[in-house]
Amino acid sequence: LQTYKVNFRRIPQHYKPSDVIQLFSKYGNPMEIGMYYHAHPKRKVYTQDGYVLFEKAEKPSHPELPKEIVAGPGHPIITNIVGALKPKPTPTSSKPNTIKESNNAPPAKDAKEHDAASFKQQRKRNGKKRRKNAQMSSPMEGIESTQPVAVVAPVATATPIDPTTPVDPTTPIASTTPITPTPQESTQEARPSDI
């Protein structure tokens, strides 16, 4: 299989290899494309020169490559300079020629997003402070403090006994012992509830 090489320069800056292949495919069957790029931490910055290897057909079904190829209206002209540029040697390793993935840092947040996130965190912190301060302070106004309340139990009044009157053993005598409150009515000192 015979191939021929076409070098190019002055390619539009935003063109990727796929764009160049699409551009050259109407002139033949591009088998390989070589484009050079600078090492950049975020993206590949391609240079404006490179080469294309075309399959050489015995009877070409495509027009001959012109001296100049216009990439599109308003774009720079891609100049066909066959054999003028020496391509950089490609590495023989199986790894594709990509930039080092040493910089795996996450993309920087937009300034508005960053401001919104920090504001939310600050509000959260302030809310925690407010809750903590409310716990430490005295009981809030409008809430009645639970103070012990004395329970008044009805006491049966004893009728005075006249020593001169004879005592009938069948009549019941009212007890004068004080009534002790039941455990439910016992007054306990209320503890302030932990908030």
* pTM of the model as a whole: 0.30
Average pLDDT across the chain, whole number: 61
CATH of range 3-80; options 3.40.50.10320, 3.30.70.330, 3.30.565.10, 2.130.10.30 = 3.30.70.330
Residue 6 has pLDDT above 70, yes or no: yes
Per-residue pLDDT tens over the stretch 39-68: 767 776 666 677 777 776 655 555 556 556
Can you spell out the DSSP letters for the chain?
--EEEEEEE---TT--HHHHHHHHGGGS-EEEEEEEEE--SSS-EEEEEEEEEEE--SS-SSPPPPSEEE-STTSPEEEE-TTTSPPPPPP-SSS-S---TT--PPPPPPHHHHHHHHHHHHHHHHHHHHHHHHHHSPPPTTS------PPPPP-PPPPPPPTTSPPPTTSPPPP-PPPPPPTTT---PPPPPP-
Query: What is the DSSP pairing of strand 3-9 with strand 45-55?
Result: antiparallel
CB 78 within 8 A of CB 35: no
Per-residue pLDDT tens over the stretch 107-160: 555 666 666 777 677 767 666 666 776 666 555 555 555 555 455 555 555 555
Sheet holding 45-55, edge to edge: 30-38, 45-55, 3-9, 77-80, 68-70
pLDDT band at residue 86 under the 50/70/90 scheme: very low
- The reported pLDDT for the residue numbered 31 is 78
Q: What one-letter code names the amino acid at 119?
A: F
Rounded to the nearest angstrom, the gap between the alpha carbon of residue 121 and the centroid of all alpha carbons in its chain is 13
Closest CA to 82 of 61, 60, 57, 64: 64
